[in-house]
Structure 1
Amino acid sequence: MQGRRVYDKAPHELEPGDYGRWDADKGNWYACVPDGKLANLTAHAVVEHEDGSITVSPSILVTQSGESPPEWHGFLERGAWRSV
C-alpha cells in the first residue's frame, strides 16, 4: 500500500496509510497503519527522503486489544507500507 504524508493533522485524524509529524507533540511522528491502528513512532528512527516520504526502522508493531486482528506488524519504507 502506498502511504500518504500529511501535514497539520492530529494523530486521531489520520486515515489508514497516512503518516506525519504532529507539532503539538514536539514534532513526533505518527502513522495510521493500513488496517487503521495508530502507531506512535517516537521509539523508531525516521529518515525523511527528498520526496517527502519516510522510512521507519525498526519494523512497526501495533497491538490493540479488542480488535480483530489484534495487531499489525510491518514496515514503512519510502512511504510504502508492507506487512510482515
Structure 2
Amino acid sequence: MMAKQLTRVYPDAGGKVTFPPNSYGQENGIWYIRPPDCHLGSLENHTVVEHEDGTITVSPSILHRDFKRVDGERVVDIQVHGFLERGIWRDC
C-alpha cells in the first residue's frame, strides 16, 4: 500500500466523536485510530505528538489486529502494521 492521508476527526457539539474509515482523533483524552482496512483501536500504549496543523505523529509503529465476520463467524484475521507521521499512514 502506498502512503495514505488519514483524516483527523473532532467531537461534535455533544462531545461525541465518530471515526469513519481512515481517521484518527481524540476522545476523553485518549487518542484513537481507524487505520486502513481495520476497526477502531486505541493509541494508549503509544507516544502521540500533536503538530501545529492538527496532524499527529505516533511512535512506535502501530500494530493493529482485527478480523471480519461472515454469517456471524470469525473468518479472516487481519494484521495492519504501519507508521502515522503527520497524519500520513505508511505500511511497514
Q: Shorter-chain TM-score: what band?
A: 0.7 to 0.9
Once the two structures are TM-superposed, the CA of residue 68 in structure 1 deviates from its matched residue by 3.6
Larger Rg: 2
Code of the residue aligned with 1:75 in structure 2: it is: F
1:78 to 63, 75, 86: 86
TM-score (norm 2): 0.77
Does structure 2 retain, via aligned residues, the 8 Å contact 1:15–1:36? no
Question: Cα distance, 1:36 vs. partner?
Answer: 2.9
CA RMSD after TM alignment:
1.6
Number of equivalences = 79
- C-alpha offsets along residues 6-57 of structure 1, whole Å, 9 cap, x if unaligned? 11144xx31122111002xxx1000100113222100000000010000000
Identity of aligned residues (%): 51
Query: What secondary structure sits across from 1:64 in the alignment?
Result: strand
For 1:67 and 1:5, how far apart are their aligned partners in 2? Answer: 30
In structure 2, what is the Cα distance between the partners aligned to 1:5 and 1:40?
14
The one-letter code sitting in structure 2 at the alignment partner of 1:5 is: R
Q: Runs of 5+ in structure 2 lacking a partner? A: 68-73
The offset of 1:69, in angstroms, is 4.9
For residues 67 and 82 of structure 1, what CA distance do their matches in structure 2 show?
A: 26
CA distance in 1, matches of 2:58, 2:22: 13
1:67–1:32 Cα change, 3 Å: farther
1:8-47 to structure 2, matched below 5 A, reads 8=11, 9-10=16-17, 13-23=18-28, 27-47=29-49
